[in-house]
Amino acid sequence: MKILPIRLFKYALLGGLFLYSTISCNKGGDTPPLIDPSDAVNVGKALILPDGTETKEGTPPAPSTNTQAPKVTPVVTEQPTNNGSTETVPIRYSNLNNGIGGVYAQVEGATNYYNIPLSGGGNSTSGTINVPIGIPENFGSGTFVLVYCIYDRSGRVSNILRIRFTITRTEPLKSGEGRATVNGRTVKATAVCDLDFGPYGRGYGIQINDNQIIIFYNMRQGNVQLGDLEALIDNSITGDITAPFAWYFDGSSIYWSVSGSATVSGKKISSSATFREAFGSRTISITASGNCQ
């Protein structure tokens, strides 16, 4: 018998008991000053990037003239967002030789750039990778442009692409508040942190109403990729999952994360992810954030 259905029911039961969990939250510190998105220097120092990202002064290496260098084509060139949100930037690549080494990115006009190490590609010469970009809560309304490219494991650099982020500022969530957008519909929610699931670990919860909740497992400070839970279970020898993932319950169906990312800062969490129905084929997109301060 496949292990997945058994574990789905276990987690579903645990999710239904979340209201009885013990919640412990820390008080937040001082509010940081507001950053104008047109201030490229400060925006370049403030964005939230994946774990392992190196921030360096200057500009990234120029595109390679070698015919073996990878090529990238735009998927998204305009990205509306809000402060406190995490957006995923898809990058479509081709002519990849020797696998992906990483991504270079820079806010246009900034004095620093990011080196985001990645792995993947294998023997494939084309495909798509996703890079999460976290927008801090202390950003105001406005726009900034991010320029980016990829490089392969031999250090060959692709051509450069641009994406413009347009931020509409919303007031930061107060303690205990949450917000969720499910398939384009935005609703208020309640943030629940430090959910205790006993031997299954701890999690963060964003409760939309009595029937709907999003639960994030195996979170850690910073930006993390949310794994495809079915693949994580299939690839686990012991059945214990330590990689970050998420569930969504809508009152009648259970969905698990298949892709996306989450950013944790103290007791605050923001996420943008795609979920697939556990016992069906439907998929939904969810953007959510919560403050347990």
Q: Please indicate, yes or no, if residue 285 is contained in any of the structural domains.
A: yes
Neighbour tally for 51: CB within 10 Å = 12
4 burial (CB, 10 Å; 0-12 / 13-18 / 19+) is middle
217 with 122, same domain: the answer is no
Q: Please indicate, yes or no, if residue 100 is contained in any of the structural domains.
A: yes
162 with 179, same domain: the answer is no
| Whole-angstrom distance, CA of residue 128 vs CA of residue 159 | 15
Residue 253: which of 223, 282, 291 has the closest Cα?
282
**What is the identity of the amino acid at 254?**
I
194 with 265, same domain: the answer is yes
Secondary structure string (H, E, C) spanning 254-283 = EEEEEEEEEEEECCEEEEEEEEEECCCCCE
Q: Please indicate, yes or no, if residue 35 is contained in any of the structural domains.
A: no
Burial 56-78, CB ≥16 within 10 A → b, else e = eeeebeebbeeeebbbbeeeeee
| Whole-angstrom distance, CA of residue 2 vs CA of residue 239 | 11
For each of the chain's 293 residues, which pLDDT tens digit applies? Answer: 233 343 443 444 344 434 333 333 344 455 689 999 999 999 999 999 988 899 999 999 999 999 999 999 999 999 999 888 888 899 999 999 989 999 999 999 999 999 999 876 567 899 999 898 999 989 999 999 999 999 999 999 999 999 999 999 988 788 888 888 888 888 889 988 777 766 656 778 898 888 899 999 888 888 888 878 777 666 655 556 778 888 899 888 999 998 888 888 888 888 888 999 988 889 998 888 888 86
267 with 249, same domain: the answer is yes
Q: Provide the pLDDT for residue 17.
A: 39
- Tokens 């023997």 belong to which residue? 123
Query: Quick one: how many helices (H) and strands (E) in the chain?
Result: 3, 18
Q: Tell me the residue length of the chain.
A: 293
276 with 158, same domain: the answer is no
**What is the identity of the amino acid at 4?**
L
14 with 50, same domain: the answer is no
Asked if 58 and 143 count as a contact pair (C-beta separation under 8 A), the reply is no
Q: In the chain, how many domains are there?
A: 2
161 with 187, same domain: the answer is no
183 with 71, same domain: the answer is no
Domain that includes residue 252, residue range: 3-27+172-291
Which of 113, 133, 168 finishes a domain? 168
Q: Provide the pLDDT for residue 152.
A: 95
Asked if 292 and 194 count as a contact pair (C-beta separation under 8 A), the reply is yes
| Whole-angstrom distance, CA of residue 92 vs CA of residue 136 | 26
Which of 168, 191, 222 finishes a domain? 168
Reduced to 3 states, what is the DSSP secondary structure of residue 19?
Answer: helix
Q: Please indicate, yes or no, if residue 229 is contained in any of the structural domains.
A: yes
Q: Please indicate, yes or no, if residue 189 is contained in any of the structural domains.
A: yes
Q: Please indicate, yes or no, if residue 33 is contained in any of the structural domains.
A: no
How close are the terminal C-alpha atoms of the chain, in Å?
Answer: 43
Q: pTM for the complete prediction?
A: 0.69
Q: Provide the pLDDT for residue 2.
A: 35
Which H/E stretch holds residue 233? helix 229-234
Which of 146, 168, 190 finishes a domain? 168
What DSSP line would sit under 56-72, residue for residue?
Answer: EES-PPPPP-STTS-EE
Q: Provide the pLDDT for residue 18.
A: 40
227 with 129, same domain: the answer is no
Q: Rg of the chain over CA atoms, in angstroms?
A: 20
160 with 257, same domain: the answer is no
Q: Provide the pLDDT for residue 14.
A: 43
23 with 136, same domain: the answer is no
Residue 47: CATH number of its domain: 2.60.40.10
76 with 164, same domain: the answer is yes
Q: Please indicate, yes or no, if residue 69 is contained in any of the structural domains.
A: yes
